Amino acid sequence: MKLELRGVTKRFGSFTANDRISLTVEPGEIHALLGENGAGKSTLMNTIYGLYSPDEGEILLDDQGVSFNGPGDAVDAGIGMVHQHFMLIPVFTVTESVALGYEPTRAAGIMDMAQARAKVLEISARFGFDVDPDARIEDLPVGAQQRVEIIKALSRDAKVLILDEPTAVLTPQETDELITIMGQLRDSGTSIVFITHKLREVRAVADRITVIRRGAVVGETSPQSTETELAGLMVGREVNLTTAKEPADPGEVCFEVRGLTVLNSADKVVVDHVDFQMRRGEILVIAGVDGNGQSELAQTVLGLRTPVAGSILLDDKDLAPLSVKQRLAAGLGFVPEDRSTDGVIGAFTITENYVLDMYDRPPYAGGPGNVALRLPVMREAAQTQAERFDVRMGGVDDPISTLSGGNQQKVVLAREMSRDLRLFVASQPTRGLDVGSIEFVHRTIIEERDKGTPCLIVSTELDEALNLADRIAVMYRGRIVGIVPASTSRDVLGLMMAGVPADEAQAQAATHHTVLAEADEQAEAEENK
Amino acid sequence: MSASGSQQGMTPAPKPEQQSPWAEAEGRLSRVLRELGQTSWLVTVLAVVVALVVGAVLILAANRDVQASLSYFFAQPTGFLETSFQVLREAYSSLFRGAVFDWQAPSAARSIRPLTETMVYSVPLILAGLGIAIGFRSGMLNIGGQGQIILGATSAGFLGYALSMPVGLHVLLALAGGILGGAIWGGIAGVLKARTGANEVIVTIMLNNIAIYLLAWLLQQEWYKQTGSNQPLSSSVDESAQLFSLLGSGFRLHAGFLIAILATLGVWWLLERSTLGFEFRAIGENPEAARTAGINVPKATALVLVIAGGLAGLGGAAHVLGTEYRLAGGVAGTLGFDAITVALLGRSKPLGTFLAGLLLGGLRAGGVLMQAQTGTPIDIVLVLQAVIVLMIAAPPLVRAIFFLPHADGRPRIRTRRSRRTAKGAAPTGSTTERELQTSGAPSAGSRSTGPSGTQASGTGPNDTQPPSTTTQEPGK
């Protein structure tokens, strides 16, 4: 089915999320929609899916104008959507999940599970999805859950399939399987809209690429464009995708984690006998798919969680008896994973956020027992640091919620790096940031490393790990699968992220390349020419 | 082959950690509190206006003359209107004369007496209201003002008549006892919340009842009331423990009003200028971020309720030592609940709370004269209060009534300018939609509008919505 948008505009109040967007998705085409976080991709897709109605412009399916009053209409018209966060009920079986919302019934309204099950099996067989119709959703790995979502869309005869950031939660190998599935769907005539901000994937799978920036289409291009070209188009200026850095000059061992075991609130082991050492002046990235214990590890280092076993030593001192405040005072810099919940207080001013973990000691506090805030000192420090970190803002007395995510993160970094650090820990430091801010954050972390601070970075983005790390530790189900040098190939890391030990991963990767890795090699070859 | 690798290796979906329904409800509660604290001054004023209008309708409905004039409405509609106007003018003017300035009074002293009466009524309201406001700012809904006032009054009163001490010292000791009584009562809820996560709303409500019956029991104990009669009424506070009169005999205004002023300044300093207040506001706005920044959230939580209780206890003490002099079962009246109204109306700001305390005190003082002179029941005052709370608790209602723009907080007039600012300010390249959406709107003008000048954070109209709801791509 051909999907066409003509001049679609969507406004929220005075803010234009989509500005006269026109694009055409031909039948049997994978059309990538590329744009940064907040460029308006998801708004556009929600408009197509009937969740929003456009303020202007029209949507055409096979040259027929359509208007949807809700997702139900869109589904009836043959549009399927797989959301970034799956819309599945954990305790349902695959069959129940697929049937949900259009349950086939026999006489007297009794659900015909057999028919639903047959449908799942049929679609599953047609595309070679390896999905057990009787498995419960919560027991399935993420990749399989995603396939259930795809089956669900296909079972309603979707001719246009929208995939919203489908690779965000997948390992490289799972991504590879998804790419194969997308190829099959295309060959069977389904049109696919593939929303992403990852350049490599776009080049590997898309037939055509539409780039949107700040709500408007800024270009349509072919997958032959280089990554640098695509990034430039996406951001609106030239960008460096890799941050230049000198090789690390590691000093003595100064941070050590021994046999650390942590339980979550449901008493499940989330960090499982983790051991590693770090030297001064090196960056160790903890890589892995989200939810494998990395966040909990970082929180335990800060003291937000109490381990059930093991110890954390900073400069040969056990951190166990220290509170969060004492650890911060002892020279720990911490950038939390979820900026808006843990990193900043939205209603506080930039100044207040800047001193959030230093407000009660000189020079920001004064008087007997440091009871009084010294506002002028706070404000001046915030102003100076904001300039140094290039925070784009109205003034330091504005609430931080008025800043973009990237600028908020700069304030967090400025705060954490304004002290003399003995250890710097950052969880997902660039999540949700635009390319420009990512560059800046990476550069700042490398500068901190060059000052001799050991930097422990948790990242689920393989690109970030490769770009930033001196060494990479891969975590899987709470354990460290292996610690490898930063020169390790993506394929090997991908296998390790799925739990394959390092040497075995090496052996496996040597005999098999993923689509993305091949695309990479090709790109490299082209650029070297 | 890669398939086999990933099959065995794929991880289960990261599940969000289980939250108890309580925790969820708490989250919602603190969000509500935040939004209440950020209601604009305009909404507050309009809430009072709406309350006066509703009050007017009720006054008319209850008035015999108006009812009579309605019966011949079609024959003589002007009669109805004239009567209504007459009745309303009398009711509200006597309310004003009873609360602020009585131009019909025989002497100058008598004519300003209403204002001093308003101040007298407002003392406990302001002090307890400040305590409630501190709770609001720290994300806690302290319903326990009533119990804390009672404990404050109980302790201060007892110290006031049971001991005999030199003049200055006695009153100070009695006040300190009042603070301590309230602080312990608030502290119980605080420690329970900090230690066990017990919901402060439920605990403080229960403590209110315990306080009421504790006082009732004490008033039957001879060692406590020291009167020698069977009446559930305590002995009278010694003169050495009474708050001295500010304007001499003929006026009831006492030093408690000075204490209220000092407390207002003190609370302002605490919230806006002290490190402890910084912690309070931080845990009120975002306890997760506060915890990550090393703030001891349980300790701060307990301290908030100790201080809130202490202020309410001080209010109770001032009420007994300055106005009532005796303890009776109903000594606190509905002060504890009115204090919640005061804090809401004052938008949880110290100066706002002070002014709101005066307003409610004025309604109380004026209501007395209104009832005496026009026969309008003083209960109307309660209705006014209730409508004010209702309006403040539901800003969308006020906006709907007055056709105000919607609550992303941008007043209609400013919309055009803010859009331009947003575009102009947007740096090329790295601007996300969120920035576009929100920048420019919280202009300096709107932030500094609070006449109190006390707001340091989270008070711009732009903040009415938490940032998460303004995220760029809704619908996820």
pLDDT tens, A116-129?
A: 898 899 888 888 78
Residue B369 is assigned to a structural domain of this protein: no
Are residues A210 and A86 located together in one domain of the fold?
A: yes
Neighbouring C-beta atoms of residue A260, cutoff 10 Å: 24
The pLDDT value given to residue B450: 35
Q: How far is CA A479 from the centre of its chain?
A: 21
In the three-class reduction of DSSP (H, G, I as helix; E, B as strand; rest coil), residue B132 is classed as helix
Are residues B267 and B355 located together in one domain of the fold?
A: yes
The pLDDT value given to residue B82: 87
Chain A, chain B: beta-carbon pairs less than 8 Å apart: 263
**CA separation (Å) from B434 to A470, A476, B409?**
34, 34, 15
The pLDDT value given to residue A264: 86
Residues in chain A with CB shorter than 8 Å from the CB of B6 are 143, 171, 173-174, 176-177, 498
- Nearest residue to B336 via CA among B192, B208, B468: B208
The pLDDT value given to residue B150: 97
Are residues A267 and A371 located together in one domain of the fold?
A: no
Are residues B94 and B116 located together in one domain of the fold?
A: no
Distance CA A276, CA A456 (A): 11
Encode pLDDT of A402-424 as tens digits. Answer: 888 888 999 999 999 998 999 99
Least Cα separation, residue B431 to chain A (angstroms): 7
Residue B189 is assigned to a structural domain of this protein: yes
Are residues A28 and A93 located together in one domain of the fold?
A: yes
Q: Is the dihedral of CA A392, A394, A396, A397 positive or negative?
A: negative
Beta-carbon separation of A405 and B432 below 8 A: yes
Are residues B329 and B214 located together in one domain of the fold?
A: yes
> Residue range A295-316: average pLDDT?
94
CB neighbour class for B155 (10 Å; exposed up to 12, middle 13-18, buried from 19): buried
Domain boundary residue, one of A385, A401, A418:
A418
Closest alpha carbon within chain A to B272: A373
Residues in chain B with CB shorter than 8 Å from the CB of A235 are 429-430
Interface contact B20, partner A, CB < 8 A? no
The pLDDT value given to residue A378: 94
Q: Classify A13 in phi/psi space as left (phi over 0), alpha (psi -120 to 50) or beta.
A: left
Domain CATH number, residue A63: 3.40.50.300
Residue A325 scores a pLDDT above 70: yes
Confidence of residue A380 (pLDDT cuts 50, 70, 90): very high
Provide the token pair at B60.
């008319």
Residues in chain B with CB shorter than 8 Å from the CB of A438 are none
Neighbouring C-beta atoms of residue A83, cutoff 10 Å: 19
Are residues B71 and B89 located together in one domain of the fold?
A: yes
Mean pLDDT, chain A, rounded, equals 88
Are residues B247 and B130 located together in one domain of the fold?
A: yes
The pLDDT value given to residue A414: 93
Are residues B66 and B211 located together in one domain of the fold?
A: no
> Residue range A381-395: average pLDDT?
89
> Residue range A145-152: average pLDDT?
88
Residue B263 is assigned to a structural domain of this protein: yes
Lowest-confidence pick of A317-321, A366-370, A430-434, B221-225: A430-434
Closest by Cβ to A499, choosing from B9, B273, B281? B9
Closest by Cβ to A342, choosing from B10, B288, B425? B288
> Residue range A3-27: average pLDDT?
88
Beta-carbon separation of A142 and B11 below 8 A: yes
Residue A242 scores a pLDDT above 80: no
Residues A502 and A475: beta-carbon distance below 8 Å: no
The pLDDT value given to residue A298: 95
Are residues A413 and A426 located together in one domain of the fold?
A: no
Least Cα separation, residue A27 to chain B (angstroms): 27
Query: Helices B77-99 and B41-62: crossing angle, nearest 10°?
Result: 120
Find the angle CA(A104)-CA(A130)-CA(A81) to the nearest 5 degrees. 55
Distance CA A110, CA B261 (A): 72
The residue behind tokens 């006031």 is B160
Are residues B194 and B220 located together in one domain of the fold?
A: yes
**CA separation (Å) from B120 to A265, B93, B114?**
52, 20, 10
The pLDDT value given to residue A338: 86
Are residues A158 and A294 located together in one domain of the fold?
A: no
Beta-carbon separation of B427 and A401 below 8 A: no
Helix (H) or strand (E) holding B95: helix B77-99
Residue B449 is assigned to a structural domain of this protein: no
Residue B64 is assigned to a structural domain of this protein: yes
| Cβ within 8 Å of B, A 3-42 | 12-15, 17, 36-42
Beta-carbon separation of B274 and A143 below 8 A: no
Whole-complex ipTM: 0.77
Closest by Cβ to B2, choosing from A130, A357, A514? A514
Beta-carbon separation of B7 and A348 below 8 A: no
**CA separation (Å) from A242 to A227, A284, A435, B358?**
11, 17, 11, 63
Beta-carbon separation of B475 and A52 below 8 A: yes
Residues in chain A with CB shorter than 8 Å from the CB of B17 are 264-266
Residues B269 and B454: beta-carbon distance below 8 Å: no
Closest alpha carbon within chain A to B423: A15
In the three-class reduction of DSSP (H, G, I as helix; E, B as strand; rest coil), residue B233 is classed as strand
Greatest distance between any 2 Cα atoms in chain B:
102
Residue A27 is assigned to a structural domain of this protein: yes
Are residues A274 and A142 located together in one domain of the fold?
A: no
Are residues B330 and B393 located together in one domain of the fold?
A: no
Provide the token pair at B348.
């949880």
Residue B237 is assigned to a structural domain of this protein: yes
Residues in chain A with CB shorter than 8 Å from the CB of B286 are 341, 344-347
Residues in chain A with CB shorter than 8 Å from the CB of B293 are 324, 328, 356-357
Domain boundary residue, one of B361, B392, B424:
B361
In the three-class reduction of DSSP (H, G, I as helix; E, B as strand; rest coil), residue A63 is classed as coil
Residues in chain B with CB shorter than 8 Å from the CB of A407 are 435
Residue A46 is assigned to a structural domain of this protein: yes
Closest by Cβ to A342, choosing from B3, B289, B428? B289
Least Cα separation, residue A529 to chain B (angstroms): 30
Are residues B301 and B397 located together in one domain of the fold?
A: no
| Cβ within 8 Å of B, A 113-152 | 130, 138-145
Least Cα separation, residue A506 to chain B (angstroms): 12
| Cβ within 8 Å of A, B 290-329 | 290-296
Domain CATH number, residue B310: 1.10.3470
**Strands across the sheet containing A317-318:** A269-279, A253-263, A309-314, A317-318
Are residues A58 and A175 located together in one domain of the fold?
A: yes
Distance CA B288, CA A302 (A): 13
Closest alpha carbon within chain B to A344: B289
Closest by Cβ to B294, choosing from A325, A344, A477? A325
Are residues B50 and B175 located together in one domain of the fold?
A: no
Provide the token pair at B375.
């026969």
Interface contact B138, partner A, CB < 8 A? no
Are residues A166 and A145 located together in one domain of the fold?
A: yes
Task: From first to last of the 476 residues of chain B, give the pLDDT tens digit.
Answer: 344 434 443 344 443 444 455 555 666 666 666 655 555 777 788 888 888 899 899 888 888 888 888 888 788 888 888 888 988 998 889 999 989 898 888 888 888 899 999 999 999 999 999 999 999 999 999 999 999 999 999 999 999 999 989 988 999 999 999 999 999 999 999 999 999 999 999 999 999 999 999 999 999 999 998 888 888 899 999 999 999 988 888 889 999 999 999 999 999 999 999 999 999 999 999 999 999 999 999 999 999 999 999 999 999 999 999 999 999 989 998 999 999 999 988 889 999 999 999 999 999 899 888 888 888 888 888 888 888 888 877 777 777 777 766 544 333 333 333 333 333 333 333 333 333 333 333 333 333 333 333 333 333 333 333 333 333 333 33
Residue A336 is assigned to a structural domain of this protein: no
Higher pLDDT, A242 or A312: A312
| Cβ within 8 Å of B, A 332-351 | 334, 336, 340-349
- Look up the domain containing A215 and give its range: 3-235
- Look up the domain containing B87 and give its range: 40-99+376-406
The pLDDT value given to residue A168: 74
Distance CA A29, CA B346 (A): 60
Are residues A428 and A308 located together in one domain of the fold?
A: yes
Residues in chain A with CB shorter than 8 Å from the CB of B2 are 173, 176-177, 495, 508, 512, 514
Closest alpha carbon within chain B to A43: B473
Are residues A412 and A296 located together in one domain of the fold?
A: no
Residues in chain B with CB shorter than 8 Å from the CB of A52 are 475
Residue B213 is assigned to a structural domain of this protein: yes
The pLDDT value given to residue B405: 63
The pLDDT value given to residue B227: 85
Higher pLDDT, A423 or A102: A423
Bridge partners of residue B328, in order along the sequence: B233
Are residues B354 and B393 located together in one domain of the fold?
A: no
Are residues A115 and A194 located together in one domain of the fold?
A: yes
- Residue A363, preceding peptide bond in cis (omega within 30° of 0): yes
Are residues A90 and A212 located together in one domain of the fold?
A: yes
Residues A462 and A291: beta-carbon distance below 8 Å: no
Encode pLDDT of A426-484 as tens digits. Answer: 999 988 787 778 888 999 999 999 999 999 999 988 888 998 999 999 999 899 999 99
Beta-carbon separation of A304 and B2 below 8 A: no
Higher pLDDT, A391 or A525: A391
The pLDDT value given to residue A283: 95
Residue A93 is assigned to a structural domain of this protein: yes
Are residues B392 and B336 located together in one domain of the fold?
A: no
**Residue type present at position B298:** P
Q: How many residues does chain A have?
A: 529
State how many domains chain A has. 3
Residues A498 and B8: beta-carbon distance below 8 Å: yes
CB neighbour class for A362 (10 Å; exposed up to 12, middle 13-18, buried from 19): exposed
Residue B457 is assigned to a structural domain of this protein: no
Bridge partners of residue B209, in order along the sequence: none
Beta-carbon separation of B278 and A173 below 8 A: no
State how many domains chain B has. 2
